[in-house]
Amino acid sequence: MEDFNYPQADKILAEKNIVLKRGDGHITLADCVSGTGQLEVWARSKDKICFQVTGNSGWLTLEIPSVYGIKGNDYATQVDMTTGTEEKSFDIDKNTWTAVGESADEQGREFMLVEIRTTK
């Protein structure tokens, strides 16, 4: 039975300090390559983080702290983020940058990215 746990999550945490929890396999961490339609996540104290998206829909739970911007792709994308006990959802614009987390927060609080959902 599929448990949806992200493969090699321990190795990714050790090498990139990114917590990848569970997903359906349609949103995967990838080396960043421009012009390939990847989702791009920008966070403080990290290089750009890219995800490849396949299929008609996908989901991935994860933990990336201090995320402030996401560049969408051809998919309709929503992300959930938390700060303290508060959770906020953001709709990511297709193929352009969307301010999320602290850059979209009136108080400038840092937010952790906790889930990505995509649909075609």
This prediction has a pTM of 0.93
- C-alpha span between 9 and 92 (Å, rounded): 25
Tokens 């906790």, located at residue: 114
- C-alpha span between 88 and 29 (Å, rounded): 23
What pLDDT, in 10s, does the model give residues 50-77?
A: 999 999 999 999 999 999 999 999 999 9
Enclosing H/E stretch for 15: helix 9-16
Instruction: Supply the CATH number for residue 45's domain.
Output: 2.60.20.30
Domain hosting 40: range is 9-119
What pLDDT, in 10s, does the model give residues 18-46?
A: 999 999 999 999 999 988 899 999 999 88
Give me the pLDDT at residue 45, please: 80
17 — pLDDT class (breaks 50, 70, 90): confident
70 Cβ partners below 8 Å, 6+ apart? 39, 40, 41, 42, 77, 79, 90, 92, 97, 98, 100
Domain total in the chain: 1
Determine, yes or no, domain membership for 100. yes
